[in-house]
Structure 1
Amino acid sequence: MSAEATNPVSEAGATGPDAPGRRRGRPRIDLRRLGRAALLGATAGPAARDRLPDAIGHVAEAHRAHHPEADLAVLRRAYVLAESSHRGQFRKSGEPYITHPLAVTLILAELGAETTTLTAALLHDTVEDTEVTLDQVRHEFGDEVAYLVDGVTKLEKVDYGAAAEPETFRKMLVATGNDVRVMSIKLADRLHNMRTLGVMRPEKQARIAKVTRDVLIPLAERLGVQALKTELEDLVFAILHPEEYEATRALIAGNTGAGDALAAIAEQVSGLLREAGVGAEVLVRPRHFVSVHRVRLKRGDLRGSDFGRLLVLVAEDADCYAVLGELHTCFTPVVSEFKDFIAAPKFNLYQSLHTAVAAPDGAVAEVLIRTHQMHKVAEAGVVALGNPYSGPDTAADQPPGDDGERADPTRPGWLSRLLDWQQAAPDPDTFWTSLRADLAQDQEITVFRTDGGTPGTISLPAGATCVDAAYAQHGEAAHSCLGARVNGRLAPLSTVLQDGDTVQPLLAQDTASGPSPQWLDHARTPAARIAITGWLRTHPEAAKIPAAAPRPAVGVTADRRSGTRLRAELPGTETPAVRPAGCCTPVPPDEITGFVVRGGAVTVHRTACASADAMRRLGRAPVTVHWGDTAACRVTLVAESFGRPRLLADLTEAIATEGAAVVAATVEPPSEQRVRHTYTLQLPDAAGLPALMRAMRDVPGVYDVSRARHPASPQP
């Protein structure tokens, strides 16, 4: 049973009706008033049997707004059962416990959930916290409602101990694979509990907030439920980063007139579209707290137009492009901000056109252009799809997943991938760690596979390699993988795949062969890492080099400028000189390859270096190279940023704070309010490079930091 109460964060304004990101037009329901109505229960008498209890009047109103013909009788029966079974239970705040399932149901009703989901939401805690059994729910409300209630019912700590939380999430995810509405209810449940977390001890608040940040928010993002995701982000922000939250709150409070700048642009856009004969609704959409915080870190000082965005809603897809054309014709477009998520939707169903335009006074406004249906899906994600399992040939009371024929539009590649690898992670700790790592990868790519002429697609996280593709396609048979063809050309297993690549893993006929420990350096997906780790655990001899095996000649050198040690392996007997290439400045733990150049020396490149690709195309044979002892290193970084005063000073201060020394620096002239800084830096330890790059990205105004890339030029 949940036992949270009113959160001071809400009182501070983070999720109040005037907070950025909160949808306008519907005030927060007074739980005390709702609690008093709940305590009265169902009014006695025959006439009352057909009347909806007052306590769920708000739910009925919100539900009918989306589903005018909805039958509310089942909601009445669900409420009566929930209220009677929870009667006598109270939350720490003093409200009757029934206010919690009512609030969860109201959240889903406002998002447009259908009646079955709302029925399950009313009953979602009955099996867990009362004497009501799952069989009773099934008998009174059918298999679908019972499945949803069971899917969100927690496992008992008495039975599972410390593994109860990860195993509960595993159970919910498996249930979500059959019916995505399970996770919709869980997300609404967590949102209400986060809203009312204030009476918990600070350490428990932080623990719940971290799980919300690491698991629930990424799931809300992947399911496209932005309305829940943004409020969860703000609540987590307030708990885990109170100082930054308070600074952001003060910034918003101190710019009460910020919306005027956007309102003026919105008025210009509305007039422009009226003259062009394009029917559209132009709205000012305030940013929520975390969004304002991110923009401040990216741009530094904020203008009024930075506190929100314009939302243009139209009837048809073609109208979206008509609006875009008018905006780019009559305003100055910021070309780098244009993205077309209509032609290429995001993996979470999101569709919109994104652009930014500059007004005559120099104010820049970000604009989102979408149809009304796109907007509904953008806000509510899978919730907006209603019941994805019902159709002309599907009985309403048929339990989900029992016929094997239903096409589920809500089960994208990331969910299928997650459900596959979780089966290979019987250990709760491995599952919990892998789940957080998988959800932390916030992008997805699609690659085309070819296997003896059989085409298909594989969904993988951004940064995935041929190793990941092999295990995604072949499972444990990928243990015998020798390499791959990427876009028709031979490629090492470490090759990072790009969206749209064609990949064909090459498997050895000898099924007794297996992966090496180095494969773990290239594996990004939990499925691949779990499979490789399992094989190595059962084959410990795989990591050993046979005593009688001939060893190649090894050249060891230290870059005189940095001290980084490199090792190159050659079949001849002389010890080669080894040096890092200047074109890509590799540093540990970069994946590297080497090539013999004039004089017998070996130059070492990053695997993805354009110069290395050019030498491969010329037929130059690569040389195996390894990093030796990690020591100091020299690296060139490029910082892309918006121009502002003191930017150079702040960047150099961030570099110095991370213990790096500036060897050389260049600043290019500003272009379109953007400026590029290039730094050659000396690091005391190559392992500190990721932290240094993060620190530079955190400097206000900086929007990207990357390693320098030089033009490809084959070496002699």
Structure 2
Amino acid sequence: MSAEATTPGGTARERRVHRKDVLRLRQLGRAAVFRSTVRGGLPDAIEHVAQAHRRHHPRADLDALRRAYLLAESAHRGQFRKSGEPYITHPLAVTLILAELGAETTTLTASLLHDTVEDTEVTLDQVRADFGDEVGHLVDGVTKLEKVDYGAAAEPETFRKMLVATGSDVRVMSIKLADRLHNMRTLGVMRPEKQARIARVTRDVLIPLAERLGVQSVKTELEDLVFAILHPEEHAGARELIRRHGMGPDPLAEVAEAVRGVLREAGIGAEVVIRPRHVLSVHRIRLKRGDLGPYDYGRLLILVAEDADCYATLGELHTCFTPVVSEFKDFIAAPKFNLYRSLHTAFAAGSGQVAEVLVRTQAMHRVAEAGVVALGDPLRGGDGESADDGERVDPTRPGWLSRLLDWQRQAPDPDTFWTALRDELAQDREITVFGEAADAGPLQLPVGATCVDAAYARHGQAAHACIGARVNGRLATLRTVLRDGDTVHLLLAPDGSSSPSPEWLEYATTPAARIPIRRWLDSTQAAGAEPGTERVAPAGPGATAHPGSRRRPEEDPGEEAAAIVAAAPEAPVRLARCCTPVPPDSVRGFAVRGGAVTVHREDCPTAVRMAAAGRAPLPVSWRSGSVGCRVTLHAEALGRPELLADLTEALAAHGAAVLAAEVEPPRDQRVRHTYTLRLPDSAGLPRLMRAMRRVPGVYDVTRAARLQS
């Protein structure tokens, strides 16, 4: 996992941090080369790690860290990075990043060993035997797959392996993020094209993962490092703006002091600090607002003791300053999906300039900076006791990660997985929708998700049979975009009676929906539909069947076992769509091009017209009265709310698969619905029509019999 990188820097703070990191690395390198002495049971080389670890975990047992370092140093001895530093400085630096974030001992132990199985003679069995199964799981999770075995698929399959391991323990991804951060910090010795490739993967995959896991401090530094590599001119411009701004006193300092005075008078104990924006953030604000004002280079961060103090602080700010109401967001009452909790607000201060403010507790601040790393061991609760029933305590697991783990199983092709992963991670916000049934738990979906996405998130491949949905009590098409808080009831046709349409790909936004839809369509195409026939696709209300057919619209090839033409027993038989005949209708057939026979009801206007034109009708008999059939019905009704939903439920209750549906505009408070249905048994048609007539407001249901244009 070794790589080297350009150094961040521009602001004085950045240069100080970088010099401190370089000094630490040199100290660690010297300690490693000269096989550092052991003081108080710890080698000098891991003293920085131990000090950072003790700040968060004062009573931690450091023996595992000592043993892990000794094994890693011995295993990596003689290996060097491209910068010339001893290789051991890399796992030490990664472990130091995690220690400063507050990671617990098991994570730090695995971090020291994270490259041993990949790059040395140490085996995974040895790691498990010496340090336990948890450390072994973490090390295995971040160990890359060999290119010699996987070729070009090595990188996507490595990420798939890490994500699967993260599904059972998020600490795997914590180590990977720290590993990538150190590699990005030291990427400068690589060729420019390799720097750009690594930076793009970091931008598309690692940064979104850091965002989802709430590791904000890692995310922001990665963003600046990627920004410097992929957009050097814009990065330099933003750095220059920050440099010029930093040449004088910070205008926010006066505002911060005024806020401190307000909170002191109110008796609220608080720490008020100026939180500078990082380089990419300054660039984004500049693109959004144009010229930057004096308060645009940072925000006020107010840290308090308790949740109630957050709201008390907010009240004082809004009382003593002029708030900008549109900027208020309450992420305490409604936390972000990545665990982030804070109050956001803004107020006018001085010359009409607006100061932005973040209010949070100290505990919220730790999670805001370190995300899941600050949660500690996901095998245990906050008090250190084992979680009930062995369940892992990880609030991120039920949402985006569960969804990702579900769809990746259906993407065996590495390219499909890699593309779908980037698409999934490009969605930076989520909504929550609910089911009507008591046992239908909430679903987390990306912003812009539709009913199709909800169907596959809820039902997996069983969603192939989805024919529509009811959103907040109203019937909706599958393309309906869902909003946060919607209640969704998905309508499924009987097994095997409905299937996906190519149009679904146009409004499916999630890989969990797109991958199974694409696989089903590909498998159907590979099976080889008979030339000249149509695959009938399900449609939601108001949609039509897939038009990509070469056959005539009045023919239906789906039930040619259903009728027999005595004069031509071997001829293909097709039921006309214009009148949708079913047993025991009186029918007659007409020969069409290609030697097939189209069967019409005797009173069908199309049949009457063809007979009047001199076409000779052929006698037709039904094979059986109990066969599946396709039929088109018209329902005449008085318009009212939820009429469409009630009719659709009546259809579903009688096993009718809706192939197409159309609702004509109301006239004089009357409305006409047209449904093309597939029934498992034609004998059930009269019962279905009676059930539709019993729907309140429906005064007539008739079979279709119309002239075709």
Matched, 1:547 2:541: no
Q: How does 1:638-657 map to 2 (within 5 A)?
A: none
Q: Which amino acid is 1:495 matched to?
A: T
Q: How does 1:508-523 map to 2 (within 5 A)?
A: 508-523=493-508
Preserved contact between residue 665 and residue 671 of structure 2 (Cα < 8 Å)? no
Matched, 1:432 2:436: no
Deviations 1:632-655 (A, max 9, x none): xxxxxxxxxxxxxxxxxxxxxxxx
Q: Which residue of 416, 421, 427 corresponds with 1:441?
A: 427
Q: How does 1:614-625 map to 2 (within 5 A)?
A: none
Shift of 1:474: 1.0
Shift of 1:545: 2.3
Shift of 1:395: 9.0
Deviations 1:45-99 (A, max 9, x none): xxx4852111111101100000111111111111000001000000011100000
Distance 1:386 1:379, change over 3 A: same
Preserved contact between residue 259 and residue 305 of structure 1 (Cα < 8 Å)? no
Shift of 1:260: 1.9
Deviations 1:655-699 (A, max 9, x none): xxxxxxxxxxxxxxxxxxxxxxxxxxxxxxxxxxxxxxxxxxxxx
Q: Which amino acid is 1:549 matched to?
A: P
SS in 2 for 1:30: helix
- The corresponding residue for 2:44 is 54
CA distance in 1 between partners of 2:514 and 2:184 (Å): 33
Distance 1:434 1:483, change over 3 A: same
- The corresponding residue for 1:385 is 375
SS in 2 for 1:285: strand
Shift of 1:295: 0.6
Distance 1:450 1:618, change over 3 A: farther
Q: Which amino acid is 2:10 matched to?
A: G
- The corresponding residue for 2:401 is 415
Distance 1:41 1:352, change over 3 A: same
Preserved contact between residue 312 and residue 367 of structure 1 (Cα < 8 Å)? yes
CA distance in 2 between partners of 1:107 and 1:371 (Å): 23
Deviations 1:15-57 (A, max 9, x none): x7437xx9899766432222011112253xxxx4852111111
Matched, 1:301 2:296: no
Shift of 1:394: 9.4
- The corresponding residue for 2:481 is 496
SS in 2 for 1:356: strand
SS in 1 for 2:42: coil
Preserved contact between residue 388 and residue 410 of structure 1 (Cα < 8 Å)? no
CA distance in 1 between partners of 2:356 and 2:18 (Å): 20
CA distance in 2 between partners of 1:546 and 1:455 (Å): 42
CA distance in 2 between partners of 1:537 and 1:146 (Å): 40
SS in 2 for 1:505: strand
Shift of 1:616: 12
CA distance in 2 between partners of 1:474 and 1:546 (Å): 33
Matched, 1:110 2:107: no
Q: How does 1:138-157 map to 2 (within 5 A)?
A: 138-157=128-147
- The corresponding residue for 1:507 is 492
Q: Which amino acid is 1:18 matched to?
A: E
CA distance in 1 between partners of 2:136 and 2:416 (Å): 30
Shift of 1:475: 1.1
Report percent identity of matched pairs.
71
Q: How does 1:225-244 map to 2 (within 5 A)?
A: 225-244=215-234
- The corresponding residue for 1:8 is 6
Q: Which amino acid is 1:315 matched to?
A: A
Distance 1:214 1:546, change over 3 A: same
Distance 1:392 1:412, change over 3 A: closer
CA distance in 1 between partners of 2:53 and 2:339 (Å): 23
Preserved contact between residue 348 and residue 355 of structure 2 (Cα < 8 Å)? yes
Preserved contact between residue 413 and residue 458 of structure 1 (Cα < 8 Å)? yes
- The corresponding residue for 2:34 is 40
Deviations 1:533-583 (A, max 9, x none): 111111124365261433999xxxxxxxxxxxxxxxxxx99xxxxxxxxxx
SS in 2 for 1:472: helix
- The corresponding residue for 1:18 is 14
Q: Which amino acid is 1:420 matched to?
A: D
CA distance in 2 between partners of 1:301 and 1:617 (Å): 58
Shift of 1:390: 2.3
SS in 2 for 1:97: coil
- The corresponding residue for 1:167 is 157
TM-score for both structures, normalised by structure 1: 0.73
CA distance in 2 between partners of 1:619 and 1:520 (Å): 35
Preserved contact between residue 114 and residue 387 of structure 1 (Cα < 8 Å)? yes
Shifted more, 200-209 versus 533-542: the winner is: 533-542
Distance 1:9 1:408, change over 3 A: closer
CA distance in 1 between partners of 2:472 and 2:87 (Å): 58
Q: How many residues align?
A: 553
Shift of 1:510: 4.4
Shift of 1:619: 7.2
SS in 1 for 2:470: strand
- The corresponding residue for 2:609 is none
Distance 1:27 1:85, change over 3 A: closer
Deviations 1:426-483 (A, max 9, x none): 00000000000000011111100135x5331111111000001111111111111110
Deviations 1:397-441 (A, max 9, x none): xxx99x764453341410000000000000000000000000001
CA distance in 1 between partners of 2:106 and 2:141 (Å): 14
Q: Which residue of 277, 281, 290 corresponds with 1:287?
A: 277
Shift of 1:527: 1.1
CA distance in 1 between partners of 2:117 and 2:242 (Å): 43
CA distance in 1 between partners of 2:480 and 2:87 (Å): 54
Matched, 1:78 2:68: yes
- The corresponding residue for 2:623 is none
Shift of 1:255: 1.4
Preserved contact between residue 664 and residue 673 of structure 2 (Cα < 8 Å)? no
Q: Which residue of 440, 446, 467 corresponds with 1:482?
A: 467
Preserved contact between residue 49 and residue 96 of structure 2 (Cα < 8 Å)? yes
Matched, 1:466 2:451: yes
TM-score for both structures, normalised by structure 2: 0.74
Preserved contact between residue 337 and residue 354 of structure 1 (Cα < 8 Å)? yes
SS in 1 for 2:251: helix
Q: Which amino acid is 1:13 matched to?
A: G
- The corresponding residue for 1:588 is none
Distance 1:274 1:34, change over 3 A: same
- The corresponding residue for 1:691 is none
CA distance in 1 between partners of 2:667 and 2:31 (Å): 75
- The corresponding residue for 2:267 is 277
Preserved contact between residue 331 and residue 343 of structure 2 (Cα < 8 Å)? yes
SS in 2 for 1:32: helix
Shift of 1:285: 0.3
Q: Which amino acid is 1:34 matched to?
A: L
Distance 1:616 1:482, change over 3 A: farther
CA distance in 2 between partners of 1:94 and 1:499 (Å): 52
Shift of 1:621: 6.7
Shift of 1:620: 6.3
Distance 1:392 1:236, change over 3 A: closer
Shift of 1:9: 3.8
CA distance in 2 between partners of 1:614 and 1:227 (Å): 56
SS in 1 for 2:394: coil
Q: Which amino acid is 1:501 matched to?
A: D
CA distance in 2 between partners of 1:194 and 1:362 (Å): 40
CA distance in 2 between partners of 1:308 and 1:215 (Å): 27
Larger radius of gyration: 2
CA distance in 1 between partners of 2:363 and 2:20 (Å): 20
- The corresponding residue for 1:557 is none
CA distance in 2 between partners of 1:24 and 1:32 (Å): 12
